[in-house]
Amino acid sequence: MLRTGGRTTGSPDDRPSREGLFKPVRTSRVYSEVVAQILRLVDGGQIGLGDRLPPERALAEQLQVSRSSVREAMTALEVLGVVEIQAGQGIFVGRAHNNHLIEEVSTLTEQQGPLEILEARLLFEPGVAQWAAQRAGARDLQALRSQLDLMGEQLDRGLDAWKPDWGFHQAIARAAQNSLVGSMLDVVTQRTEHELWIRMRNHNFERRANAFRYLAEHREIFATIEARDGKAAFRTMRQHIRSIQRDLG
pLDDT confidence band for 111 (50 / 70 / 90) = low
Average confidence (pLDDT) over 14-37: 65
The pTM assigned to this predicted structure is 0.66
Closest by CA to 144, choosing from 117, 118, 173, is 173
Q: Taking 90 as the threshold, does the pLDDT of residue 143 lie above it?
A: yes
Of the two residues 43 and 103, the one the predictor is more confident about is 43
The whole-angstrom separation of Cα 16 and Cα 39 is: 18
Q: Taking 60 as the threshold, does the pLDDT of residue 105 lie above it?
A: no
What is the pLDDT of the chain when averaged over all its residues?
82
In one letter, which amino acid is 141?
L
Axis-axis angle for helices 179-191, 162-175 (nearest 10)? 160
- Burial environment of residue 24 by CB neighbours within 10 A (0 to 12, 13 to 18, 19 or more): exposed
Most confident region among 177-181, 193-197, 202-206 by mean pLDDT: 177-181
In one letter, which amino acid is 43?
D
DSSP state of 17: P
pLDDT digits (tens, 9 = 90+) for 55-94: 888 988 888 888 878 887 887 788 777 888 887 888 888 8
pLDDT digits (tens, 9 = 90+) for 199-243: 778 777 778 899 999 999 999 999 999 999 999 999 999 999 999
- The percentage of residues in the chain with a pLDDT greater than 70, rounded to a whole number, is 80
Q: Spell out where the chain has E strands.
A: 2-4, 7-9, 83-86, 90-93
pLDDT digits (tens, 9 = 90+) for 124-138: 999 999 999 999 999
CA distances from 110 to 33, 105, 191, 196, 223 (A): 12, 8, 11, 11, 38
The whole-angstrom separation of Cα 234 and Cα 125 is: 8
Three-state DSSP state, 183 = helix
The whole-angstrom separation of Cα 60 and Cα 202 is: 22
Q: What is the pLDDT of residue 223?
A: 98
In one letter, which amino acid is 81?
G
DSSP state of 193: T
